[in-house]
Amino acid sequence: IAYVPPQIQLSAVAAGNGGFVINGQCVGDQSGYSVAFAGDVNGDGLADLIVGAYRSDPNGSDSGRSYVVFGQTGGTAIDLSAVATGSGGFAINGQCAGDYSGVSVAAAGDINGDGLADLLVGAYHSGPAAGAEAGRSYVVFGSTGTAPVELSAVANGTGGFVINGQGASDRSGVAVAGAGDVNGDGLGDLIVGAHLSDPAAGTDAGRGYVIFGTTGTMAAVDLSAIASGQGGFVINGQGASDYSCRSVAAAGDVNGDGLSDLIVGAFGSDPAAGAHAGRSYVVFGQTGTMAIDLSAVANGTGGFVINGGGSYDLSGTSVAGAGDVNGDGLADLIVGAYRSDPNGGDSGRSYVVFGQTGGTAINLTAIANGSGGFVINGEGAYDSSGFSVAAAGDVNGDGLADLIVGANGSDPNGGNSGRSYVVFGQTGGTAIDLSAIANGSGGFAINGESAGDLSGRSVAAAGDVNGDGLSDLIVGADGSDPNGSYSGRSYVIFGNTLGVFAQTAVDQMGGAGNDYLMGTFGGETIVGGAGNDILV
């Protein structure tokens, strides 16, 4: 078998090899701007997905749409136009023109206790009673049916509930995430970011809101009530123009106290490293509803701060829980700094920060030197690596959590075709260069299909979409043009070889069942996958 560089071509995935493509519906929809694992929404045992198309026009220009795409065992391409009519999933239609619903999407867990996974959709330009662009987020209950969901109905309490922003121009819903069990009551909680909110720290300091799960009646939630400690708690930004909570994520249990912790990014913050170096904050879970000020977290109370490494790095643009990357039993973190310059201007960096039980401040300059984590250096100028980051699960089966990093400005198949990188977990602090990953050392690259696709704009672990027992990935490319300019595409990449993603080009790939695969006289790579297979 001839050696092939360990790179996955999304053009091959689009052809049904090793995954499948999800094609956007209309010109300018930008489907794939946001993507996420959705859980098992329809109860069929396969992981489902949610894809945001915030520029779609179901109820007026830019009202936005999200699509729940049901898992499937094969590689058949999915058209979101079909999903919108109830084939293979269902659409979630934005409420009003200009809402930008679907700008952020996430799994919410089982909020209403019916055994089906629920969803969280952000619409940061929406205008509830609090004022224009206060923003809304919507919890949409899972369903075995495929009828389209109207967010106007959800806002009225049908099929879910709405979360209304606190103040005009706050843009709540710019980021949303399932938060895990933050208060230890056994129920899943939520977090909603509002990066232009104005707490006492100043204009655009930003706020995040943690909304506790409940077994009671699900009514509309006003973030003003959460800020007062009713049903959750608020996280107040540290300084004016910090834009805190522009990114939010569940962090896992970073300090080992049994409560789920959170990570929030503040890319506009100005630590000692310089202007707009950015900060991220790990906020420890708490059983109460006391407001949390990030200025206190920065001093080690109730969490710890992660200070950016250089001026205008914009660290914290993306944040995620990383799983246990180094195998010490504590949850680790990943922070993106896409404007950092390790290998040319804006080549980008990502930083893996190992979990810790205390509140000691972490400087990304120390992480870059291998103390308390490790750095992932971008490959080339203007790649913008770290624009998106996510946990990838254990891709190579070594017991350590792996990562996926998006670089939507990379040029593997034309300018800005985009690239994503799967980076294998490691126990030490050795710096990782994405140029090495692209050559198969410590991971592998996923290459965008065409110039301008911006693949890697969004990345996520997808769960087990095809039911073969292996974890899959999803990569968004909102600049792709399957059904007109910027209609957008997303790609689901199947895990294979019983826990290890293919690191060579695969000529034939088996599925979850018992396959009979026959080769030719040439050199080939044939992978059976799951099942009792015969390879000839």
pLDDT for 185-195, tens place per residue?
999 999 999 99
Nearest one of 302, 379, 286, 372 to 333, comparing CA atoms: 372
Query: Which residues are bridge partners to 204 per DSSP?
Result: none
Interval 186-209 mean pLDDT:
98
pLDDT at 515: 44
Nearest one of 256, 280, 282 to 268, comparing CA atoms: 280
Sign for the pseudo-dihedral over CA of 472, 477, 482, 486: positive
pLDDT band at 216 (very low <50, low <70, confident <90, very high): confident
What distance in Å separates the CA atoms of residue 264 and residue 141, rounded to the nearest whole number?
25
- DSSP structural state of residue 148: P
pLDDT at 214: 86
Tokens 């509309």 -> residue: 220
**Around Cβ 154, how many Cβ atoms within 10 Å?**
23
Interval 48-53 mean pLDDT:
98
What the block records as the tokens of 105 is 């999407």
What the block records as the tokens of 218 is 């699900």
What distance in Å separates the CA atoms of residue 66 and residue 73, rounded to the nearest whole number?
22
Asked if the model's pLDDT at residue 347 lies above 50, the reply is yes
pLDDT band at 6 (very low <50, low <70, confident <90, very high): confident
What the block records as the tokens of 277 is 């170096």
pLDDT at 316: 99
Rounded to 5 degrees, φ, ψ at 403 are -135, 160
> What are the tens digits of pLDDT across the range 109-152?
988 888 899 999 999 999 999 999 999 999 999 999 999 999 99
Contact 249, 333 (CB under 8 A): no
pLDDT at 2: 30
Asked if the model's pLDDT at residue 506 lies above 50, the reply is no
Q: Strand 149-150: give its sheet, edge to edge.
A: 34-39, 48-53, 65-69, 89-93, 149-150
pLDDT band at 470 (very low <50, low <70, confident <90, very high): confident
What distance in Å separates the CA atoms of residue 230 and residue 221, rounded to the nearest whole number?
10
Q: What percent of the chain has pLDDT over 70?
A: 91
Least confident of 224-228, 231-235, 497-501: 497-501
Contact 339, 359 (CB under 8 A): no
Nearest one of 10, 5, 3 to 413, comparing CA atoms: 10
- DSSP structural state of residue 230: S
> What are the tens digits of pLDDT across the range 57-66?
999 999 999 9
The number of C-alpha atoms within 13 Å of 465 and in the hemisphere containing its C-beta is 31
pLDDT at 535: 56
List Cβ neighbours of 274 (8 Å cut-off, separation of 6 or more): 308, 310, 311, 312
Rounded to 5 degrees, φ, ψ at 147 are -65, 140
What distance in Å separates the CA atoms of residue 239 and residue 296, rounded to the nearest whole number?
12
43 in helix, strand or coil? coil
Contact 438, 379 (CB under 8 A): yes
Rounded to 5 degrees, φ, ψ at 83 are -60, -40
pLDDT band at 471 (very low <50, low <70, confident <90, very high): confident
Asked if the model's pLDDT at residue 536 lies above 50, the reply is no
pLDDT at 499: 44
Asked if the model's pLDDT at residue 203 lies above 90, the reply is yes
| Burial class of residue 420, CB neighbours in 10 A (0-12, 13-18, 19+) | buried
Asked if the model's pLDDT at residue 343 lies above 90, the reply is yes
pLDDT at 95: 98
pLDDT band at 497 (very low <50, low <70, confident <90, very high): low
| Burial class of residue 45, CB neighbours in 10 A (0-12, 13-18, 19+) | exposed
pLDDT at 509: 41
> Could you tell me how far CA 290 lies from the centroid of its own chain?
28
Nearest one of 509, 529, 482 to 21, comparing CA atoms: 482
Average pLDDT, the chain: 92
Q: What percent of the chain has pLDDT over 90?
A: 86
Interval 387-412 mean pLDDT:
94
At 36, which helix (H) or strand (E)?
strand 34-39
What the block records as the tokens of 68 is 């729940």
Pinpoint the alpha helices (H) of 332-404. Answer: 364-368
Contact 162, 154 (CB under 8 A): yes
Asked if the model's pLDDT at residue 397 lies above 50, the reply is yes
Asked if the model's pLDDT at residue 335 lies above 50, the reply is yes
Nearest one of 405, 356, 407 to 381, comparing CA atoms: 407
Asked if the model's pLDDT at residue 508 lies above 70, the reply is no
What distance in Å separates the CA atoms of residue 172 and residue 174, rounded to the nearest whole number?
6
Query: Which residues are bridge partners to 403 per DSSP?
Result: 391, 423
Asked if the model's pLDDT at residue 419 lies above 60, the reply is yes
Q: Strand 373-377: give its sheet, edge to edge.
A: 318-323, 332-337, 349-353, 373-377, 432-433
> What are the tens digits of pLDDT across the range 239-263?
999 999 999 999 999 999 999 999 9
pLDDT at 215: 79
Sign for the pseudo-dihedral over CA of 474, 480, 482, 485: positive
Instruction: For residue 26, give the amino acid letter.
Output: C
Interval 434-454 mean pLDDT:
97
Strands 292-293 and 232-236, bridge-based pairing: parallel
| Burial class of residue 499, CB neighbours in 10 A (0-12, 13-18, 19+) | middle
What the block records as the tokens of 259 is 């409560």
